[in-house]
Copies of this chain bind each other. A is one copy, B any other.
Amino acid sequence: MREVAVVGVGMNRWGELWEQSHRRIWTEAALEALSDAGVDRVEAMYVGCMSGGLFTGQEHLGALLADELAMGPIPGTRVESACASGGLAFRQAYLAVASGAHDVVLATGVEKMTDVDGAAATYALSTAADQEYECYHGLTFPGLYALMARAHMHRYGTTERQLAAVAVKNHRNGHRNPLAQYRDEVTLDQVMGATMVADPLTVLHCSPITDGAAAAVLVPLDMAKRLSPRPPVRVVASAHATDTIALHDRADLARLASTEKAAEIAYRQAGIGPSDLSFAEVHDCFTIAEVMVVEALGIADRGKGGALAESGYTALDGRLPVNPSGGLKSKGHPVGATGVAQVREAVMQLRGECGDRQVKDAKWGLTQNMGGTGASSVVHIFRRA
């Protein structure tokens, strides 16, 4: 397998983009990535999208978007793994380049979520869980993550204040991200006092419904050094793992086994451990998710993820910043795009292009993207080439 680098990234301004179509927001991000990479053709492309069918009535996005970019007859492949669709699209693009199947590959993610009403969006998102054994009985995603939060609080003494500290930190970072959906800072009291969605998660513990897209261009490392107008960033690890789809089948509701497994593989591939990381972009679809993810990644000891957020260790100026982009919480969560936007942030951080949210001396970055309640996880590690 060949070494692979990212030479271009792109993203549109995320939000409730009622005036823009699905394909329009995708094309904006894709063209920006191509321009950033300094290329005008790719040999293949991947699209991460969770539910084109339920959100917009449009499947077959691989072909549609290759056409939209006027790049047919190149192969355009859609991959889906619920909210990890973007990370998985990036991974398939990585494998296409690493294997030698293609030299210049575009990895993208997109979701247009606000063209349906709230109930329809909640239903569409529920298709990431076990429809027959969880959702038909009334569970929604805030409900599932609330169960995980309660399990974590019960076992480890995690507090609502610690969970809220995740939201405060991520909004503080997102405040500095011009493409984020919600750039407002929030206080602990605001998070804890907001409208309750599923106890203990108020609305400010939850990531929003978002329209957005992101894109990245991957090439073999040796080509990157010749081609790229910007410093290339190496992909040093790519891992994907699964866990039970239903929460009730897990031995431990307060652990994310798929992230643990994917991280174990990724650290081995990269030859580093969590203490070597300069920053991590992780899947904070709910505040409890970030707490459990930093534990699964070995950034926090087991049960200490909440305390770590509260301590400032994962703040932008802390020892190991987590979600310098603002995370899903502040930047937004267009489910199919999220994993690719994490890659964009990692690449820009490693290039030193993040302005007032720049992580100092960034050398190694990790991205972690998750589907459902952690039934699938995709982990990548990047470093400056």
Contacts and interface: CB of A to CB of B under 8 A. Distances in A.
Given A67-B245, A245-B64, A57 B131 contact: yes
The interface residues of chain A, by DSSP majority, are classed as: mixed
Contacts of A95: 95-96, 99, 101
A366 to B, nearest CB: 18
A180 B246 CA distance: 33
Interface centre among A1, A82, A128, A376 (most CB of B within 10 A): A376
A50 to B, nearest CB: 6
A351 B337 CA distance: 44
**So how many copies of this chain end up in the complex?**
2
Given A51-B53, A60-B80, A60-B376, A72 B123 contact: no
A208 interface: no
A240 interface: yes
A287 to B, nearest CB: 22
A148 B1 CA distance: 43
Contacts of A76: 81, 242, 376
B123 A57 contact: yes
B51 A59 contact: yes
A73 B257 CA distance: 8
B66 A242 contact: yes
Contacts of A64: 130, 245, 375
Contact of A72 (B51, B52, B243): B243
Nearest to A45: B242
A371 interface: yes
Contacts of A297: none
B132 A72 contact: no
B77 A60 contact: no
Contacts of A56: 131
Given A62-B81, A73-B261, A100-B99, A249 B67 contact: yes
Given A95-B101, A124-B53, A78 B79 contact: yes
A74 interface: yes
Interface string A352-371: 00000000000000000001
Contacts of A23: 132
Contact of A92 (B92, B98, B245): B92
A21 interface: yes
B80 A80 contact: yes
B244 A75 contact: no
Contact of A75 (B62, B123, B132, B242): B242
A66 B75 CA distance: 26
A317 B214 CA distance: 52
B100 A1 contact: yes
A362 to B, nearest CB: 28
A71 to B, nearest CB: 8
Given A1-B100, A242-B74, A127 B52 contact: yes
10 closest A-B pairs by beta carbon, nearest first, are: A99-B99, A63-B375, A75-B240, A60-B82, A73-B241, A59-B127, A63-B376, A53-B53, A53-B54, A64-B245
